[in-house]
Amino acid sequence: MTDNTTRLDHVVLWVRDPVAAADFFEKAVGMAPLRVTDFAAGAVSFPSVRLNDESILDLMPLSMAEGMEMVPGAAESAGHPVNHVCLALPGDDFEALRARLEERSVPVSDFSYDSFGARGMARRSFYFRDPDGNVFEARHYD
């Protein structure tokens, strides 16, 4: 990529079982897993899943929280203070995501309408949790 404008690179989620989390995001949410085999073999500290060409979610083992020393208080960040992560999808992908979640008996919220976001007002959105309790919003603008 040669476009170096400011953009979201990654979000780190604390998870109890990174392999199970990667499986959830692959099968229920439709994201491509990254480095899962390397993580399982002990070659890397955490796996990830690809959101799009520019952004990933890192699946950080909760067991690593105590060792977080990059900023004061980092170990206490496990589990908060992020309220939710929002995924914006095309309308068809939005419908497919909701269907996959419902097929897997993942609880989803009712639809919200005309909520404000990075691209203006989204037509519809809903919320769901991953197996570790992280809250996600899915929305579409088209």
Beta-carbon contacts of 32 under 8 Å, excluding residues fewer than 6 positions away, are 26, 49, 50
- 111-126, pLDDT tens digit by residue? 999 988 888 899 999 9
Provide the pairing of β-strand 48-50 with 112-117: unpaired
E strand or H helix that includes residue 57: strand 56-61
pLDDT band for position 2 (50/70/90)?
low
The per-residue pLDDT of the chain, averaged, comes to: 88
For residue 34, what are the CA distances in angstroms to 22, 25, 42, 64, 141?
8, 11, 14, 19, 28
What is the Cα Rg of the chain in Å?
16
